[in-house]
């Protein structure tokens, strides 16, 4: 049994000082065709969610030594600096200690963070929404109850908001069935225009039906490409090398979704273990996947799940992600400046 088996999902938190590539004088311009080194963040930042803004990118991750909602900022997805705790005060309905996987989207001039927290009333994980005037926060959840609570299904986690091309807002999530000896599925449901409530009925969009998808399915994130919807998801046991990333495609957010392969498109190798739970991000030169991975010799130990980036490649009907690599000849083109 791995040492992590006795811990709840995502509760292993590394300590120490952030030692990411520094942002400052002397860095190359963000649009330059130069290489980069993975991991781009070498401290524990599990379950990264990325928000693109006019001047660059924000990264939000599962709670750790930097607070309930650690926030970092980058002009180019490579050089990162810590901003602080995006949600220093938790919601009234939540217990402290299990703030997981926040993702942020802009809604009507404000920033909405959809996040997972420990619901006091049910003793299960639930999904909340917190609002801020700026992408770095502070995010405030003033509701008396979660946005979504499904204790009968083991709870719900891994909220991922998405704005469709027609302007409609959607929320994806996973029921936390593996926390209650149940199966896990991915769901999608419309959000109200203000992003603060759900509308209509949910649709179950994806399930575990392939040999590599052991233990659970989770971490959904959607991006569009050439008129179709691509859903990146993770499956396997997050605490070891079985964890990886799959991709499904659809012509509508609520499906039907078709998995593109019976094997993960991103999986462990000799430099990274358990790569996954990330987000596809659009740049000038295409789409990149930002994700976490363990050092193979330190699974379940410091420095924890570090942040890596890999290029996503489309070839006809196929999608691939460049395998985890430490030295990479060309970094993303963002045309931002450090």
**Amino acid 14: pLDDT:** 34
C-alpha torsion 134→170→80→299, nearest 10: 130
Q: Is 267 within 8 Å of 314 (Cβ atoms)?
A: no
Please tell me the distance from the alpha carbon of residue 328 to that of residue 215, in angstroms, as a whole number: 32
Cα→Cα distances 309→17, 129, 179, 208, Å:
21, 27, 29, 25
What SS3 state is found at 106? Answer: strand
| Integer Rg of the chain from CA | 18
For residue 151, report the phi and psi dihedrals to the nearest 5 degrees: -60, -30
What SS3 state is found at 257? Answer: coil
**Amino acid 55: pLDDT:** 81
Kindly write down the DSSP assignment for every residue of 265-291, as one continuous string. SB---SS-EEEEEEEEEEETTEEEEEE
Helical (H) or strand (E) element with 315? strand 306-315
What SS3 state is found at 113? Answer: strand
Cα→Cα distances 10→14, 31, 264, 304, Å:
11, 34, 21, 10
**Amino acid 337: pLDDT:** 53
For residue 106, report the phi and psi dihedrals to the nearest 5 degrees: -85, 135
Please tell me whether the peptide bond between 234 and the residue prior to it is cis, using omega within 30 degrees of 0: no
**Amino acid 336: pLDDT:** 65
Eight-class DSSP state of 147: S
Burial (0-12, 13-18, 19+ Cβ within 10 Å), 211: exposed
Distance from first CA to last CA of the chain, Å, rounded?
Answer: 44
- Global pTM value: 0.91
Question: What tens-digit pLDDT sequence spans the chain (338 residues)?
Answer: 333 333 334 434 333 334 344 333 233 444 445 899 999 999 999 999 999 998 899 999 999 999 999 999 999 999 999 999 999 999 999 999 999 999 999 999 999 999 999 999 999 999 999 999 999 999 999 999 999 999 999 999 999 999 999 999 999 999 999 999 999 999 999 999 999 999 999 999 999 999 999 999 999 999 999 999 999 999 999 999 999 999 999 999 999 999 999 999 999 999 999 999 999 999 999 999 999 999 999 999 999 999 999 999 999 889 999 999 999 999 999 976 54
Please tell me the distance from the alpha carbon of residue 72 to that of residue 78, in angstroms, as a whole number: 11
Eight-class DSSP state of 7: S
C-alpha torsion 245→249→253→254, nearest 10: -90
Q: Which two tokens stand for residue 108?
A: 């009507």
pLDDT tens profile 213-243: 999 999 999 999 999 999 999 999 999 999 9
Eight-class DSSP state of 194: T
């Amino acid at each position: 049994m791995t040492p992590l088996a006795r811990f709840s999902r995502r509760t292993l938190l590394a300590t120490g000082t952030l030692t990411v590539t520094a942002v400052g004088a002397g860095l190359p311009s963000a649009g330059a065709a130069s290489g980069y080194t993975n991991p781009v963040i070498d401290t524990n930042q599990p379950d990264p969610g990325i928000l693109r803004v006019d001047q660059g990118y924000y990264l939000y991750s599962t709670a750790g030594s930097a607070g309930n909602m650690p926030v970092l900022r980058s002009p180019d997805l490579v050089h990162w600096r810590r901003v602080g705790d995006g949600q220093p005060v938790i919601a009234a309905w939540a217990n402290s200690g299990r703030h997981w996987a926040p993702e942020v989207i802009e809604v009507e001039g404000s920033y909405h963070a959809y996040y997972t927290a420990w619901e006091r009333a049910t003793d299960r994980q639930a999904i909340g929404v917190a609002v801020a005037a700026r992408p770095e926060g502070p995010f405030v959840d003033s509701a008396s109850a979660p946005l979504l609570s499904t204790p009968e299904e083991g709870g719900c986690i891994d909220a991922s908001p998405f704005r469709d091309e027609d302007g409609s807002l959607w929320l994806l999530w996973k029921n936390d069935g593996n926390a209650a000896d149940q199966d896990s599925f991915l769901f999608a449901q419309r959000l109200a225009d203000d992003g603060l409530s759900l509308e209509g009925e949910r649709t179950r969009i994806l399930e575990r039906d392939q040999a590599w998808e052991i233990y659970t399915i989770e971490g959904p994130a959607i991006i569009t490409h050439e008129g179709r919807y691509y859903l990146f998801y993770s499956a396997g046991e997050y605490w070891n090398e079985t964890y990886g990333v799959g991709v499904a495609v659809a012509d509508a957010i609520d499906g039907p979704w078709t998995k593109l392969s019976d094997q993960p498109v991103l999986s462990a190798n000799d430099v990274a273990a358990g790569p996954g739970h990330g987000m596809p991000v659009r740049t000038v030169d295409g789409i990149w996947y930002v994700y976490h991975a363990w050092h193979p010799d330190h699974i379940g130990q410091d420095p924890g799940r570090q942040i890596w980036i890999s290029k996503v490649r489309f070839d006809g009907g196929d999608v691939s992600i460049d395998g985890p690599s430490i030295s990479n000849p060309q970094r993303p083109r963002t045309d931002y400046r450090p």
